Structure 1
Amino acid sequence: MADQQPVFDYTSSAPWEQVIRSYGGSEQINEAIREMVASGKRKDECWEAIWDHEVRAFESDKGFRDEVRGIYEAAGVNLLSVTPWTHESHVSERTGQRRDLSRWQARFDAADWLHKVTSPEEARQVARSDDVGIVLNTQNVGAAIDGSLDRIDVLYNEGVRIFQLTYNYQNMLGTGCNDPSEGGLSTFGRAAVDRVNELGGVVDVSHCGKRTTLDTIEYSDEPVAVTHATCQSVSHHYRGKSDAELEALADADGYVGIVTLPWFIAPGETQPTLDIFFEHLDYARSIIGADNVGIGTDFYPADAKFPSELLEYYKQHIVELGFDREKVEQRNIAAGIGDFKTYTDWPVIRAELGERFPSAQVEGILGENFLRFWERAV
């Protein structure tokens, strides 16, 4: 795989295949969860325990690390943006970092092929090798910094490079995409955008409401990203972006990545295929241009291998994060879409992309477009 092209994906976390392998298989992880529940653990505690188990396996077992590397090689993706949930309150006793940041740092420390990527130059260097680069992001700056702009500096110093201003609800910076208010970017939000711009981070408005998205694009001194969203004109969902937002993004030389989550890109459809993903991608291309679109599958926890023992817990969890209960209950959130059922199925996206889009555009959509945007934004 040496000297390959960059293939970038916004994925939110490590693949479920990685976690399941740490337990030895799907039934083993489900049995482990049942045993934890029987011992008195809550489902949220089980959630944290299985991730801790995966990290311990990653740290201690070279054979397991090699297997994990094989997952990324099979997927053919060498640059990923993942989300340490930096707005959660738990702090590691061992490192003093927020817990999930600590987990990712443990992975970086254990594997010489897994790199924390903090600049476009580092990303290109990783892409020229057989290694895998991780671009850390936060999906809720407002919650992560808890009213202190200085905490943006802390996150940046810990390696976070993509800063999504809001999640689904309103926070001190602005309004989220599923909040009933229609507020825009606040005064404090402007100060946060200024700080991210000054540091050289990427401002992300994927989960922001329409007014906050438009305000941020207009206000930011640097181009803004929508790393993972959909097009509302193709399938209307609050996680999508309107034509007005896409047009503003185009005017500001921004970037948009399209998700593959079926309940975002095909609400109401029971068995959507990847055709709908490519409809969204093509529509975004028609507005923002072929050089400014990419892929942000957000393929977590849509993986068909998601532990069945945690499905009901996770549905409740994402409702608490601001997703509509009725829509969540109506959908299987862990079924994949079409032939893309687990992360190692990623090559089906690449293959169909080559059939549907001009060859001159494919390399950009796969990763070059994001890297060129990142270079513009810093």
Structure 2
Amino acid sequence: MTDTSPAAAYDGYRAYSYLKAGTDYQEFALAAEVGRVPAYDGGLGPEERARVARLLEENIVISLHEHAVVLPEDPEQIRRYNRTGRQRTAYEGLAHSGLTAVVDNFMAGASCVTSQHGWKWDDMIYALGFRLADLAKQDFVVHATTVQDIRDAKAAGRIALIAGLECATMIENELDRIDMLYGFGVRQMGIAYSQANMLGSGLSERSDAGLTHFGRRAVERMNKLGMAIDISHCGDRTGLEVIEESSVPVMITHAGARAVWPIARLKTDEVIKACAERGGVIGIEAAPHTTLSEAHPHHSLESFMDHFQYCVDLVGVDHVTFGPDTMFGDHVAVHRTYAGNYAHKDEGRLEHPLVEYVDGVENPGESFHNITGWLVRHGYSDADIAKVLGGNTLRVLEAVWRSGDDER
């Protein structure tokens, strides 16, 4: 267990506290942002804990994929809560995280305001607009659109929030909507979320026809704007074709290695290597029952880090980072709630213990303390820890976001 004291710059602000709960918006009893589950015991000694604290203090630490929101305490309220479109940013939880920056993916696919099926343009605008309005009413979490914003947040002891979306389904066949999203401050977007769309195929489809003609135009537009591309939920062929089509590095923001645990949600060696060869990174994810391993089939930090170690051995430490894909509340309940919407092929066919949460990587407030502790305990150097905690991601963001400036 390492020190998770709140950042000094956090003043106690709570989401939408500039409004009156129950009058201006629907009120829900929310999950605890700190201490909802027992703290992870990483078995660190005093010197190791001190080193973890120093590494988090000295380095830019970026989570490549999260949903930094608080869920309702009652899991039965999740769909009702998301239908309001007004998810609550977890300011208190983030204040304990040790993060410099977080790529927040806004629960847009679950913001079923106008439809039960998600990924509608209006629903995404609700999710994005409400959250960004709330961010503008406080000054601890800063909406970041440039690398300098991330560096400035670090210098000020604040957290930079990078707006991301897991797929581009809601742009339909409107290429200019990518420009609109960029104008709203979105700086990272996925191609497809499991199901096929106008751009390409998702990983849940039985066949993968690859990147469409419209998808190629969308990749080109994202390159011109300087918007990072994510292929985490793409089918294998679609992901490979995105990597080939893009003029800048592509990200696998949250996945693991299929060679370690053979489910479609994770990536083949071919896709991971292609991403790395073009300068990209893979963020290891921890959504419940994804990054398991034969050595650690009970999903925890240990199985999660089995995927990290495999990817480091496969493509090198310069191309691996972390995108835990967590939130504050019952993530397993979210999967149950939306299982009919976003089922992945092959999921559940492998025998493994079911968990209520992923021990050690349960929420954005605790994950990077425990990840750093694991790296320290397993003999990683300060230089390599700096790379995987944020340096690798920062390098790719500098290349991708600058590409939009170079177009001008």
- Common topology (TM > 0.5): yes
In structure 1, which of residues 287, 305, 320 is the aligned counterpart of residue 341 of structure 2?
Answer: 320
Equivalent in the alignment of 1:265: 291
1:198 alignment counterpart: 224
Shift of 1:229: 0.6
Aligned to 1:83: 105
> 1:247: Cα distance to partner?
1.5
Summarize the alignment of residues 323-338 of structure 1 with structure 2, pairs less than 5 Å apart.
323-324=344-345, 327=348, 335-338=356-359
Q: Structure 1 CA distance, aligned partners of 2:249 and 2:360?
A: 34
CA distance in structure 2 between the partners assigned to 1:272 and 1:12 by the alignment: 18
Deviation at 1:287, TM superposition (A): 2.4
User: Which has the larger displacement, 261-270 or 180-189?
Assistant: 261-270
Gaps of at least 5 residues in structure 1 are: 21-28, 37-42, 59-67
Aligned to 1:14: 68
Q: Could you tell me which amino acid in structure 1 is paired with residue 336 of structure 2?
A: K
Find the partner of 2:271 among 241, 245, 248: 245
With over 3 angstroms needed to count, the CA separation of the structure-2 counterparts of 1:333 and 1:344, relative to structure 1, is farther
Per the alignment, residue 237 of structure 2 pairs with 211
Question: Structure 2: how far apart are the matches of 1:361 and 1:351?
Answer: 14
2:319 is matched by which residue type in structure 1?
Answer: N
Contact 2:67 2:107 in 1 (8 A): no
**In structure 2, distance between residues paired with 1:157 and 1:232:** 36
Q: 1:48 aligns with which of 79, 83, 91?
A: 83
* Among candidates 145, 153, 169, match of residue 195 of structure 2: 169
Question: 1:329 offset after TM fit, Å?
Answer: 12
Q: Which runs of 5+ in 2 are unaligned?
A: 1-6, 9-56, 115-121, 402-408
Say whether the 8 Å CA contact 1:4–1:128 is kept in structure 2.
no
Please give the per-residue CA displacement for 1:102-122, whole angstroms capped at 9, x wherever unaligned. 221122112111111111121
Paired residue secondary structure (2:365): helix
Structure 2: how far apart are the matches of 1:96 and 1:234?
A: 36
In structure 2, the partner of 1:139 is 166
Tell me, in whole angstroms, the C-alpha distance in 2 between the residues paired with 1:188 and 1:262: 33
* Deviation for aligned residue 1:48: 3.2
Q: Counterparts of 1:213 and 1:292 in 2: how far apart (Å)?
A: 17
For 2:398 and 2:305, the matched residues in 1 are separated by 26
What's the offset of the Cα at 1:202? Answer: 0.6
Q: Is 1:353 equivalent to 2:379 in the alignment? A: no
| Paired letter, 1:203 | I
Q: Indicate whether 1:129 and 2:156 are aligned.
A: yes
Report the counterpart of residue 45 of structure 2 in structure 1.
none
Please provide the CA RMSD for this pair: 3.0
Within 1, Cα distance between the matches of 2:112 and 2:387?
38
Name the residue aligned to 1:109: 136
When the two structures are aligned, how many residues end up with a matched partner?
336
Tell me the distance in 2 between the aligned counterparts of 1:8 and 1:371: 8
Instruction: Indicate the percent of aligned positions where both proteins have the same amino acid.
Output: 25
C-alpha contact 1:108 1:114 (8 A) present in aligned 2: yes
- Counterparts of 1:47 and 1:377 in 2: how far apart (Å)? 31
- Counterpart residue identity of residue 181, structure 2: L
TM-score normalized by the length of structure 1: 0.80
Aligned-pair distance for 1:44?
2.7
Instruction: State the match for 2:212 in structure 1.
Output: 186
- Which whole-Å CA distance do the structure 2 matches of 1:82 and 1:208 have between them? 19
Change (3 A) 1:360 1:215: same
